[in-house]
Amino acid sequence: MAEVKNILLVGVGGQGIILASKILAQGLISAGYDVKMSEVHGMAQRGGSVTTQVRYGKKVYSPIIGKGQADIIVSFEKMETLRWLDHLKVDGKVVVNDYEIPSAPILIGDAKYPENVIEILKEKADTTIFKAADIAKELGNIKTMNVVMLGALAKAMGLEEVDWGKIVKNNVKEKFVNINIKALNKGMEQVK
């Protein structure tokens, strides 16, 4: 089913990935697509690896994306990109937040955070890298990192025609609307 597009959002529990995916899915629905989204629950809330999968097209069957099938991976945390890289199409795109969250084995000194993640990614795939955390901090709230990533994704997927601002508005508290719309635009600017 070539006409179905597959987006994989990966990162760590607490980064706002589920919210970003919800906004993404609503945007795609508003554009008239059939959409399926699969999210991870349970243990992942406790600092584990988190992924959501969004598939859209004329008609979607499976809610999950298999290996070698993602058109794009949007990664909220550097190392998590590597964990899911086998799901990317060989000619797929990667959008990476240059941000590290050490996992438990790293914190207790059993392992080292992998080196050269960015170099590996660049060598293997069409990769866009930027520091969403810094952008979000500059805007005044690190928590908007997820919407920065969403903006970058919308641009990378060529989904600019969707009225993202309106959908963001429907999904965040009123006092955070402006900062999130700024975050969205900043994210879009990151991708050429």
Partner 1 sequence: MKEFLTGNEAIARGAYEAGVTFVSAYPGTPSTEILENIAPYKEHVYAEWAPNEKVALEAAIGASIAGARALAAMKHVGVNVAADPLFTYAYTGVNGGLILVSADDPGMHSSQNEQDNRYYAKFSKVAMIEPSDSQEAKDFVKIALEISEKYDTPVLFRVTTRICHSKTLVELGEREEVGIKPYKKDISKYVATPANGRVLHVKVEERLKQLEKFSNETELNKIEWNDKKIGIVTSGIAYQYAKEVFGDTASYLKLGFTHPLPMKKIEEFANEVEVLYVIEELEPYIEEQMKAAGIKCIGKELIPRIGELNPDIIAKAILKEERQTIQYDEAKIVGRPPTLCAGCPHRGFFYMLAKKKNIMITGDIGCYTLGSAEPLSAMDTCICMGASVSAGHGAQKAFEFNGIDKKVVGVIGDSTFFHSGVTGLMDIVYNKGNAVTVILDNRITGMTGHQENPGTGYTLQGDKTHAINIPLLCEAVGIKKENIYIINPLDLDACKKTIDEALDKTEPVVIITEWPCVLKKPSPEDIEKFGNKRTICKVDEEKCKACRICTKTGCPAISFDEKASINEDMCVGCDVCLQACPFDAIEKVGE
- Residues paired with 73 in a beta bridge: 8, 94
Indicate the pairing of strand 88-97 with strand 126-130: parallel
Q: Which residues of 86-115 are buried (b: 16+ CB within 10 A; e: fewer)?
A: ebbeeebbbbbbebebebeeeeeeeeeeee
Binding site residues, partner 1, CB under 8 A: 1, 12-13, 25-26, 29, 34-49, 60-64, 66-69, 79-80, 82-83, 85-88, 90, 102-114, 120, 124-125, 142
Count of Cβ atoms closer than 10 Å to residue 186 Cβ = 20
Q: C-beta of 81: minimal distance to partner 1 in Å? A: 10
Q: C-beta of 189: minimal distance to partner 1 in Å? A: 26
Our CB check for partner 1 shows the closer of 11 and 151 to be: 11
Q: C-beta of 96: minimal distance to partner 1 in Å? A: 14
Our CB check for partner 1 shows the closer of 85 and 152 to be: 85
> What value does the CA radius of gyration of the chain take, rounded to a whole number of Å?
16
Cα–chain center distance at 168: 15
Our CB check for partner 1 shows the closer of 44 and 129 to be: 44
Q: C-beta of 158: minimal distance to partner 1 in Å? A: 22
Q: Where are the alpha helices (DSSP H) in 55-116?
A: 78-84, 104-107
Q: C-beta of 167: minimal distance to partner 1 in Å? A: 12
Our CB check for partner 1 shows the closer of 23 and 148 to be: 23
Our CB check for partner 1 shows the closer of 26 and 188 to be: 26
